[in-house]
Amino acid sequence: MQTTTQPAYEVAEAERPLWLGQTPAGWADAVRTVDPNEVHDAASMIAAAGLGWYVDQCPLEAVLAIGEDGYPTARATVPRHVANVRSDTRAVLGVVGDGYEPLQNRAAFAFCDDITDSGRAHWIGAGSTRGGARVHALMRLDRDVRIGGADGEDVLPLLCFRNGHDGGLAVTVSVAPFRLACLNGMLLPLPDAQRVWKARHTAHVQARLADARRTLGIAWRYYDELEELGGRLIRERIGEGEFERFLSRLVPLPEPKPDGSEGGRAVRNVERVREAIRTAYRAAPDLADIRGTRWGALQAVTAYVDHTQPTRQTAGRTHAEARFERATEPAPLKDRALELLTEGGIRP
């Protein structure tokens, strides 16, 4: 099975604004570049990324009857619900209870000014998905992360801020680490560090400062833990037999059906996934120096999830948006891979 070949990147390239969204498997308009030399606060970041629109709330009506000409002949007001509508496109972003108060983009990210003012992070990009129902912004921490001190194992330490306008997402913050050599997203579950948390919002200056310090503290701890865990995995060898056992537990064959058949299509799907991960592990140039390590096995899985696993385009989400969400949100297969590689259950 063919896999997407990812070029290798250098640390210097990461100094360019949102260079990672411009790759062959990039995010297109899901994230717009902002220049950190020109964008210093949330308001200018929102303006540069085209997120200066507002969410209006409009009453809802039910169409009770339609005439022969196709136009409604009877309507009724829908009680206790309103539509969240984007001010510039007039697109309906979601239907919510009439007590729901939308948090506008400017307000959602205003507390981040205290983070950038600290000099420990800067904006690199922002955008929206699902027509504006979900809004996000990316910030880079001003620190270096290198796994095991090895050349080529630099990690880009990002923070991702999200806000929802469809009633289904509170303002959240998450780490968004990327292995620089291949742009694999590594939002991994670490036992002693948070990877996703809710932001608190208030106009009180001291409370905003406390929230900024809290955010930076959680993020710093996560990247410290990632560096420590990665350093351990890169030093631990994994043989071919152990790697195959890892694959068999990571992507298990389906249970036989009651009629005794093995489910041919399901088995073939399992084998395709295994082969894609196996090919990445054995042939990807950026894994050459870490092949035969548990860190290398983990990167083969993250490469499959981010660059090879099919994405689904829906009425409200493009392929590029799906790739962005997959790379910056928890992924069950990545989580399971880390669990297997750290629990020791795949050794002979």
- What would the pLDDT profile of 302-320 be if each residue is shown by its tens digit? 999 998 888 877 777 888 8
227 and 243 together in one domain: no
pLDDT in tens, 93-135: 999 999 999 999 998 998 899 999 999 999 999 999 999 999 9
198 and 126 together in one domain: yes
**Is residue 62 domain-resident?**
no
User: For position 4, what pLDDT does the model report?
Assistant: 46
Whether the per-residue pLDDT at 48 is higher than 70: the answer is yes
153 and 212 together in one domain: yes
218 and 290 together in one domain: no
152 and 17 together in one domain: yes
179 and 280 together in one domain: no
**Is residue 110 domain-resident?**
yes
Q: Which of 9-23, 83-97, 252-266 has the lowest mean pLDDT?
A: 9-23
* Residue carrying the six token digits 């260079």: 19
List, in order, residues 6 or more apart from 227 with CB less than 8 Å away: 145, 146, 147, 155
242 and 227 together in one domain: no
Phi, psi of 236 (to 5 degrees): -95, 125
Which of 190, 209, 232 marks a domain boundary?
232
End-to-end CA separation in angstroms for the chain:
28
**Is residue 80 domain-resident?**
no
Q: Which of 135-149, 173-187, 314-328 has the lowest mean pLDDT?
A: 314-328
User: For position 343, what pLDDT does the model report?
Assistant: 82
* Residue carrying the six token digits 């997959």: 326
**Is residue 86 domain-resident?**
no
Segment 73-91 shows an average pLDDT of 93
Segment 17-42 shows an average pLDDT of 73
pLDDT in tens, 264-286: 888 899 999 999 999 999 999 99
**Is residue 69 domain-resident?**
no
Range of the domain at 195: 11-52+103-232
Whether the per-residue pLDDT at 3 is higher than 50: the answer is no
183 and 48 together in one domain: yes
**Is residue 182 domain-resident?**
yes
Whether the per-residue pLDDT at 230 is higher than 50: the answer is yes
User: For position 24, what pLDDT does the model report?
Assistant: 45
Whether the per-residue pLDDT at 253 is higher than 50: the answer is yes
Which of 172, 199, 232 marks a domain boundary?
232
Q: Which of 38-42, 124-128, 313-317, 339-343 has the lowest mean pLDDT?
A: 313-317
113 and 223 together in one domain: yes
User: For position 278, what pLDDT does the model report?
Assistant: 96
**Is residue 190 domain-resident?**
yes
**Is residue 78 domain-resident?**
no
For the chain, the C-alpha Rg in angstroms (whole number) is 23
Whether the per-residue pLDDT at 183 is higher than 90: the answer is no
User: For position 22, what pLDDT does the model report?
Assistant: 52
Domain count of the chain?
2
259 and 125 together in one domain: no
User: For position 20, what pLDDT does the model report?
Assistant: 55
176 and 301 together in one domain: no
Question: What is the rounded average pLDDT for all residues in the chain?
Answer: 87
Quote the pTM value: 0.86
Q: For residues 343 and 292, give the distance between their C-alpha atoms in angstroms, rounded to a whole number.
A: 17
Residue 118 tokens read as: 């600290």
Q: For residues 348 and 238, give the distance between their C-alpha atoms in angstroms, rounded to a whole number.
A: 11
Whether the per-residue pLDDT at 293 is higher than 60: the answer is yes
191 and 330 together in one domain: no
Q: What is the 3-state secondary structure (H, E, C) of the chain?
A: CCCCCCCCCCHHHHHCCCHHHHCCCCCHHHCEECCCCCCCCHHHHHHHCCCCCCEEEEEEEEEEEECCCCCEEEEEEEEEEEEEEECCCCCEEEEEECCCCCCCHHHHCHHHHHHHCCCCEEEEEEEEEHHHCEEEEEEEECCCEEHHHCCCCEEEEEEEEEEECCCCCCCEEEEEEEECCCCEECCCCCCCCCCEEECCCCCCHHHHHHHHHHHHHHHHHHHHHHHHHHHHHHHCECCHHHHHHHHHHHCCCCCCCCCCCCCHHHHHHHHHHHHHHHHHHHHCHHHCCCCCEHHHHHHHHHHHHHHHCCCCCECCECHHHHHHHHHHCCCHHHHHHHHHHHHCCCCC
Q: Is 138:126 a contact under the CB 8 Å cutoff?
A: yes
pLDDT band of residue 17 (cuts 50, 70, 90) is: very low
Whether the per-residue pLDDT at 137 is higher than 80: the answer is yes
Segment 58-85 shows an average pLDDT of 91
Whether the per-residue pLDDT at 170 is higher than 70: the answer is yes
Which of 217, 232, 247 marks a domain boundary?
232
